[in-house]
Structure 1
Amino acid sequence: MSESAMPPVVPADEWEAARAELLVAEKEATRALDRIAAQRRRLPMVRFGEYTFTSTDGPVTLRELFGEHRQLALYQFMNAGPDAFCPGCTYFTRNVANLDGLARKDLAWATVSDMPIEQMAGYWKTMDWEHIPFASSAGTTFSADCGAGGGFLLNMFLRDGDNVFRTYSTGQRGVDGLLFSNTVADLAVYGRQEDWEDSPAGWPQFPTYG
């Protein structure tokens, strides 16, 4: 990045006019997202089978991951093989916070992966993720049944008694948009500084997981 790789400097009234123009677009996007959220809340749901995962305390079922809550957000962490860990899933999990806030909305959070439980437990300890519940889905068809295809996916579930239903799922940019650090970086002049972004010439940009 050179010293000249910065936005142009303009008088305050010109900046205010440009900011007001952008605000119109931002409000349009916000209203569009509100409409999408309303549509999402009206999705039908599908009954989901029972699965038994492996936790550090022994077997744990999909139903048990809810705890006493009616809703569950369940992230499928990609299995990259022995002694390897998906950088994207790692970056995502580093952003998982305020689970107490979710709990107040009757929503539990957990992470599962087709990694063996010993590999997950070691990584959780290394990364200081003890606040994030996790279990291994290795040996089950859960990942395939969700359509994760060996990748990562966020599923949303609702329970009615002991019956579990899937209400929503998202991956790729749908997951990417949930990250606190990305959301804040998107507001900064240099953005995320990733090489896929549409940025002015000279802006700092690097490989996404470099």
Structure 2
Amino acid sequence: MLFALADSRLPIGGHVHSGGVEEAVASGLVRDVRSVELYLRRRIRTSGLVAASLAAAVCLGELSVERAELEADARTPAPAARTASRAQGRGLLRLAKQLWPQEDWARLGARPHLSTVFGVVGAASGVSAQEIAGVVVYTTLTGAATAAQRLLALDPAAIAMCTVRLAELCDQTAAAAVTGLAALSDPLQDVLAERHPHRDMPLFAS
């Protein structure tokens, strides 16, 4: 189950989101494998940790769906980033309804945050809070890494090795996510998210 949820082929629309990488490339901040890795480390420690902590709290039953949505909004200052999260949440929700039809998915509404849906999916599938947090962190990493590889025409093997080097950080972040709600943001990612919708003919939705 965990391998399936973490698979980049999971049909939730993640392949059309770059996690800010497209704008970072356009701005000259990400240029090569080294700068990709630095960006990914920053993303894991901020966006990844926040989303994973929210998903873990929902999975544990510490946050209701309604409260989780409010907490996610409060921790996502950029409107464009909130839109991206809800778009991917809608995709995961669509899949979850088919996999676990016995669950009450109506309580999530039409466009919930991705972290909220992952939390409910974690509870429905019987995985632990730290395991679902690990999936959230990992997908935060791989979506952006894959986008960088495509945008910069980088060697796929080099990007794969980059993600391997970040595996320990992902595990550490998932472990930290279950200790309580993270309350931090990254101004750089907020700026990149807000710039992106104004670009001419962007390749990614975010």
Same-fold call, TM cutoff 0.5: no
Q: Which has the higher contact order (CA 8 A, sep 6+)?
A: 2
Larger radius of gyration: 1
TM-score, normalised with respect to structure 1:
0.31
Q: Which one has a larger percent strand, Structure 1 or Structure 2?
A: 1
